Chains A and B, each alone.
Chain A
Amino acid sequence: MRKTMTSMLAGIGLVLACGTSVYAQDKELTIFWAEWDPANYLQELVNLYEAESGVKVTVETTPWSDFQTKAFTEFNAKGSAYDMVVGDSQWIGAASEAGHYVDLTDFFNKHNLKEVMAPATVKYYAEYPSNSGKYWSIPAEGDAVGWSYRKDWFEDPKEMEAFKAKYGYDLGVPKDWKQLRDIAEFFHRPDEKRYGVAIYTDNSYDALVMGVENAIFSFGGELGDYATYKVDGIINSEQNVKALEAYKELYSFTPPGWAKSFFIEDNQAITENLAAMSMNYFAFFPALINEASNPNAKATGFFANPPGPNGDQFAALGGQGISVISYSQNQEEAMKFLEWFIKDETQKKWAELGGYTASAKVLESPEFQNATPYNKAFYETMFKVKDFWATPEYAELLIQMNQRVYPYITGNQGTAKEVLDSLAADWNATFKKYNRVK
């Protein structure tokens, strides 16, 4: 027995010793992100860093639905499993106030990133609180909601004629939300298993809210005053009521079973010939121009979120910045990596690989704008984006919005006015709870 014990201890000791020596020899960095195509592009990009510097960088991923939970569980436990995280824009308040992110203000100012990166990305991915001049992330993956559509359906002469006869104007890329609605109605033909439009409806994280935001912002509405936390009269404004009604009407032109759909389903709507138009993040458009993943690749077109009735044109912001985690044991190495990441040539390479760079110089270059059929729409959209609340209690606000809005959109419960009035009361109560308002 004693012999076995001794040999076991020796074995454990040996393993530990080997482990430590390996660790000491090779510096490794781990970046945590959600499981999607851009994370694969980032892995390709960081492989170049390894070739240059010898530091191995791994991009570790988890499905979107778990991303927030898994990341914050690790942060709360002060775990050092990840050195950097490409975290969602609305996390920045929670993560910075709780001390999970390293303050990058000096780094930001030293490299003048406020000028180098597109202004919207600096405002929403990096700075918290608003206009404080404190920065917590480097804008990494710019993203916003755009639209894809079936060019072949739109350009069919018979359809064009029938559309003009019915609505009195030419069928084409919608110039406003009214046209978007008309086109959705026109192509909605359940008998032919063809439907008008695919929109976001999943209420398990932020999909539905992002979808609704596209309507709200373009109808001239806001979610609230982000500086004073005032919501009453803003979230339940007349524009927002109209916007919510418009989004609900779009839902009636979606394919059957469209009550839990997010980016996968919305791309499927195009690849499986289900819908004429589909809302999605630009980050998911590379799959639509690839013939291996979209048999209709050649017949797929793209457009930016159209303006609302008063000509306001905005889109919901997606995308993430890259932050260094306070509990990482390789912070110095992580900062070196960031120095490399913000270089112009790295950002250019990042865009070439399929990542949506936030670098203003790359975005403005004709080379980038002509690289794909949707890059121009992306460039235009990135200057007209708005985002959800970024306060530490954003998750509660998000769940409250889902709880109020989802039954109205998918289940005909209540009116838009009632829903938004209740939401204003919920949000107000939450802000009171955290002493943001009196």
Chain B
Amino acid sequence: MATAVLTTLDPNSRSAARGMSDLTIRNLFIIPTIVFLIVFNIFPLIYSLGYSFTDFRASSPAAANFVGLQNYRELLNDPFIWSNFAITAKYVIVSVVGQVIVGFGVALLLNRDIPLKGLLTTLLLLPMMLSMAVVGLFWKLLYDPSFGIINYTLGLGSFEWLSNPDMALYAVAITDIWMWSPFVMLLSLAGLSAVPKHLYEAAAIDRAGSFYTFFRITLPLVAPILMIAIIFRTMEAFKTFDLAYILTSQPTTEVISIRLYKMAFQEWQTGRSCALAYIVLIMILAITNIYVKYLNKVKER
């Protein structure tokens, strides 16, 4: 396959005329990418791993001292950090489950011949094209207890969405669901439209009920692509920052990335925040791995 690509250099092309070999062209494309990755991703990743074992503070000219596992030990013993993780987990579950239900539901509704289907789909995709900060600012107005349109429409009086510590996280999750359900919808729609029609026809001939059809035909066939949507959304929800930061400052919405931001750029505890970033990275990798394993299993079926 690779050789097939490499041999397709047109002898009349400008590159060929300039005497560049296939190898040169390949390097020309690959090397900058690799250099970019090393300089901006891999190098900082390794460098920050080193920092995570020190008491380095970027705000101070003092040299960094090696402190071993102290940062990790203290972070994992800090009840505030654990509460940040618990908040993040709750947020991920509420937000991703909500997005899958809404997104998949809308995809099911759209997966039929209806007038203006294309226009409807495009309009439904608009929320995820907006900037997170803009969405946050808009929803802050919508949730406002005095003049917000949500309380007005639902007749909730002056219900405090964002100031109520028990409600604030759900309010952020609702905003996230509104913004990202279209993403799940889009992927689900792609999956749904790939389900062969003849399977439904066969099921209809066997007089299978709609529940049976959904759970035995639709869901298993859409599952792999739905899993991909879930992986993406879980990773994103785990590192969510903007929405929660803009909408509210309740301690009950202080997800782990907000705590990390404060530790790194307000307190300037650079070493310790590197350690926390590594703990978060390991968690995301673990969760993603579980998903990927499950995805492979689903694909095998």
Q: Contacts A99-B61, A202-B249, A403-B251 given: A257-B146 contact, CB under 8 Å?
A: yes
A393 to B57, CA, bound (A): 11
Q: Closest B residue to A202 by CB, please name it.
A: B249
Known: A97-B60, A98-B60, A99-B61. A260 touches B266 (CB 8 A): no
0/1 string, A71-109, CB within 8 A of B gives 1: 011011000000000000000001001110000000000
Say if the beta carbon of B162 comes within 8 Å of chain A: yes
**Inter-subunit contact A257/B61 (CB<8 Å):** no
Once the chains bind, are A411 and B165 in contact (CB under 8 Å)? Answer: yes
Query: Given the complex of chains A and B, what is the CA–CA distance between A69 and B158 in angstroms?
Result: 35
Q: Which of B59, B165, B251, B252 contacts A98 (CB 8 A)?
A: B59
Q: Shortest beta-carbon distance, B160 to chain A, in Å? A: 5
Report yes or no: A76 in contact with B59, Cβ–Cβ below 8 A. Answer: yes
Task: Verify A395–B60 contact, CB threshold 8 A.
Answer: no
Asked if B160 contacts A257 (CB within 8 A), the reply is: yes
Q: Is A329 an interface residue (CB 8 A)?
A: no
Of all chain B residues, the one with the shortest Cβ separation from A261 is B163
Q: Count chain B CB atoms within 10 A of each CB in A203, A256, A392 and give the residue with the most.
A: A256
The reply to whether the CB of B212 lies closer than 8 angstroms to some CB of chain A is no
Docked complex Cα distance between A275 and B300 (Å): 64
Return the CB mask of A387-411 against B: 1 if under 8 Å, else 0.
0000011011001000100110011
Known A256-B145, A407-B165; contact A94-B80, beta-carbon cutoff 8 A: no
B144 on the interface (CB 8 Å rule)? yes
| Majority secondary structure of chain B interface residues (helix, strand, loop or mixed) | loop
Whether A257 and B60, one on each chain, are in contact in the complex, defined by CB atoms closer than 8 angstroms, is no
B62's nearest neighbour on chain A, judged by CB, is A98
Kindly state whether residue B250 has any CB partner on chain A within 8 Å: yes
B266 touches A68 (CB 8 A): yes
Which residues on A sit within 8 Å (CB–CB) of B158? Answer: 190, 256-257
Is B88 on the interface with A (CB-CB < 8 A)?
no
- Asked if A153 lies at the interface with its beta carbon under 8 angstroms from chain B, I say no
Contact yes or no, A257 B251, CB < 8 A:
no
- B234 within 8 Å of A (CB atoms): no
Is the Cβ of B59 less than 8 Å from the Cβ of A75? yes
Q: Are B160 and A256 in contact (CB under 8 A)?
A: yes
Complex CA distance for A358 and B120, rounded to whole angstroms: 61
- Binary interface profile of B, 146-190, with partner A (CB < 8 Å = 1, else 0)? 100000000000101011010000000000000000000000000
Most buried by A among B160, B165, B249, B251: B249
Q: List chain B residues, Cβ under 8 A from A193.
A: 146
A255 at interface by CB-CB < 8 Å: yes
Query: For the complex, what is the distance from the CA of A395 to the CA of B165, rounded to whole Å?
Result: 24
**Scoring A residues 362 to 399 as 1 if CB is less than 8 Å from chain B, else 0, what string do you get?**
00000000000000000000000000000011011001
Is A41 in the interface zone, CB < 8 Å from B? no
Contacts of A190 in B (CB 8 A): 158
Does B58 lie at the interface of the complex (its beta carbon under 8 Å from any beta carbon of A)?
yes
How far apart sit A406 and B253, CA to CA, in the bound complex (Å)?
Answer: 13
Q: Which chain B residue has the least Cβ–Cβ distance from A411? A: B165
Q: Number of B residues contacting the other chain (C-beta, 8 Å)? A: 24
Q: Does A341 contact B (CB under 8 A)?
A: no
B299 in contact (CB, < 8 A) = no
| Chain B residues whose CB sits within 8 angstroms of the CB of A392 once the complex forms | 59-60
Instruction: Determine the chain A residues whose CB is within 8 A of the CB of B267 once the complex forms.
Output: 393, 395-396, 399
Name A413's closest neighbour in chain B (CB-CB): B165
Whether B262 is near chain A, meaning CB under 8 Å from some CB there, is yes
Determine the residue in chain B with the shortest Cβ distance to A1. B18
Residues from chain B with a CB closer than 8 A to the CB of A259 are 160, 162-163, 248-250
**In the assembled complex, A258 has its CB within 8 A of some CB on chain B:** yes
- B80, B146, B248: the one contacting A255 at CB < 8 Å is B146
Q: Give chain B residues whose Cβ lies under 8 Å from the Cβ of A393.
A: 267
Q: A257-B162, A260-B248 are contacts. A73–B265 as well, Cβ < 8 Å?
A: yes
Q: Does B200 contact A (CB under 8 A)?
A: no
Closest CB of chain B to A411's CB: distance in Å? 4
Would you call A410 and B269 a contact (CB within 8 A)? no
In the complex, what distance in Å separates the CA atom of A259 from the CA atom of B61?
A: 37
B72 within 8 A of A: no
- Chain B contacts to A: CB under 8 angstroms: 58-61, 80, 144-146, 158, 160, 162-163, 165, 248-252, 262, 265-269
- 15 sample A-B contacts, Cβ–Cβ < 8 Å, listed by A number: A76-B59, A94-B60, A98-B61, A99-B61, A193-B146, A203-B251, A255-B146, A256-B160, A257-B158, A392-B60, A399-B262, A399-B266, A403-B80, A407-B165, A410-B165
